[in-house]
Structure 1
Amino acid sequence: MPALIISALALLFVLWLLGEPYLTERKRQRIRAQPFPAAWREILKRRVPYVRALPADLQLQLKRHIQVFVAEKTFIGCAGLEITDEMRVTIAAQACLLILNRPGDYYPNLRQILVYPGSFVVHQAHTDDSGVAHQGRQILSGESWSEGQVILSWQDTLAGAATPTDGQNVAIHEFAHQLDQETGPANGAPLLARRAHYARWSQVLGAEFDALRTRASPDEASLFSDYGATDPAEFFAVISEVFFEQPQRMAEEHPALYHELAQFYRLDPLSW
């Protein structure tokens, strides 16, 4: 009898695992079928001018994604900040821009978005080559954790959204990290559509990363922020900002890199 009960419980567990994705998608369909709130539409007009550049079909897709994202993710105000719909919709719009046309799962590892009024301080520890431990403080406008959290400065998030052509957007940067972290620690190699794509991805991004790190001098002009030379993960996040905000320059100056990102994001901002 105990063995029979265990078998039955195991079967129920398997059925639950198989049925959960179906139930989740049904719930999302119901959310996407609801009218997009008029107040949210005004928020997009006022805070995220980038949306107006999107073709009509992508605008509709983005709005549906925003509805699901806001319903599923928890927003937490930090340092006394009170979370509002303006914050939820503004952040969600930029996060969902990265998953348009992609058969993803709304950042499946992400549970919480922590929002500070402005830049925040983090305490970091590192060990140098001689084995000596050091403690330090760093002022950040955003951070992405593989444990399921994105931390953003509301002030910097607003600034990034308000100027959609300067190639700098902290929300795009941190949510690109989240895509990178879907398979583990961020390393600049997010989950690609096909295994065969990794060789080309590695070749193109590796060459561009090396070029940014080894250019003649820090004063030499570059389309990409110096922060992108930190490591491959930061490079991927930085070029994602530029891909969405300065596609014309990227396509002209770095055509192979633009092609790789267009293939990954399944979008062509040049056509908007």
Structure 2
Amino acid sequence: MDTVTTVFLLICAAGLGLFVFQTFWRDKLIRRRAFPGAWRDILDRNLPPYGALSDEERQQLHQLINLFLAEKTFYGCAGLEITDEIRLTIAGHACLLVLNQGGSVYPKLMSILVYPTGFRVEREQMLENGTLATQDNHLLGESWSNGKVILSWDDVEKGASDFSDGHNVVLHEFAHQLDGLSGSTNGAPPLRRNSYQSWARVFSDNFEDLRTRSLLGRKTLMDTYGATNPAEFFAVATETFFERPQELQRLRPELFEELAEYYRVDPRKWQQQ
């Protein structure tokens, strides 16, 4: 290796090291920022598990929210003005999913677009006869792979007001963001402690069972929207895990255990206090 190449590589290594060092300390300083009392009041009102968190969990949640708000940009759409209540409510629910995870907070996410109510989008869809048709869809939220999440504030509020019905648009869309960290949104997020073999078996079995029950019109614990595809199943399973953990553990114990291992929390404790 010639001298010029060696010097170039040393400069690159030094630059990378400086970037990592600065990022580490920047994140550490952001996490340690004071968490205003007004923000705590918002979480008390709009994040039902907040009051049941342990002191350690609550402190960790504050740090994650500080980092989330520092790194992500909120945009109000259709005339909606972004307030602290909107930012804190969405950030609180989103960061609940990454308690005890360590590392960065939704590293691929850059923007959260918030509409006052459900929004409409036109999409081209392939029909059974092979032709394309434009369809008008009414949506409560969307998660994009290009660093955006779109939410309806009206539906965020509905999810926050009842944390036991298994429906929460923030948990749903941010579960998609976690899923997409693998490079593909397919119901198999990057796993740290779970066995991929066990995950695939449990999720496949439960997905097929939900599909069958949905087709036969049988009663289901999870929203049948989860039968759409594996990605939607993971998002709906996440909603159910956090909002109806007692029932999920009783009716789908293996699925509950996989999710508990992945998220590293037990939401049943938050409901018992």
TM-score range, shorter chain: over 0.9
Count of residue correspondences: 269
Question: 5 Å matches for 1:87-236?
Answer: 87-194=86-193, 197-215=195-213, 217-236=215-234
- Structure 1 residues 255 and 41, CA gap change in structure 2 (3 angstroms): same
Q: Name the stretch that deviates more: 24-33 or 142-151.
A: 24-33
- Structure 1: give runs of 5+ residues left out of the alignment: none
Distance 1:147 1:175 in 2: 14
Q: Contact between 1:50 and 1:161, CA under 8 Å: does it hold in 2?
A: no
- Structure 1 residues 8 and 114, CA gap change in structure 2 (3 angstroms): farther
**CA displacement at 1:129 relative to structure 2:** 4.6
CA deviation map 1:215-240 (0-9, x unaligned): 27553111000100000000000010
Distance 2:147 2:69 in 1: 15
- Structure 1 residues 165 and 36, CA gap change in structure 2 (3 angstroms): same
- Structure 2: give runs of 5+ residues left out of the alignment: none
CA-atom RMSD in angstroms: 1.8
Is 1:51 aligned to 2:50, yes or no?
A: yes
**CA displacement at 1:166 relative to structure 2:** 1.1
Q: Name the stretch that deviates more: 168-177 or 35-44.
A: 35-44
Q: TM-score, normalised by structure 1?
A: 0.93
Distance 1:190 1:207 in 2: 17
Q: Which residue type is aligned with residue 165 of structure 1?
A: S
Q: Contact between 1:81 and 1:115, CA under 8 Å: does it hold in 2?
A: yes
Q: Name the stretch that deviates more: 206-215 or 43-52.
A: 43-52
**CA displacement at 1:38 relative to structure 2:** 1.2
**CA displacement at 1:66 relative to structure 2:** 0.6
Match of 1:252 among 231, 250, 253: 250
Q: Which residue type is aligned with residue 19 of structure 2?
A: E
Residue aligned with 1:242, SS:
helix
Distance 1:21 1:98 in 2: 25
CA deviation map 1:52-79 (0-9, x unaligned): 1222211111111111101111111111
Q: Contact between 1:227 and 1:234, CA under 8 Å: does it hold in 2?
A: yes
Q: Contact between 1:141 and 1:156, CA under 8 Å: does it hold in 2?
A: yes
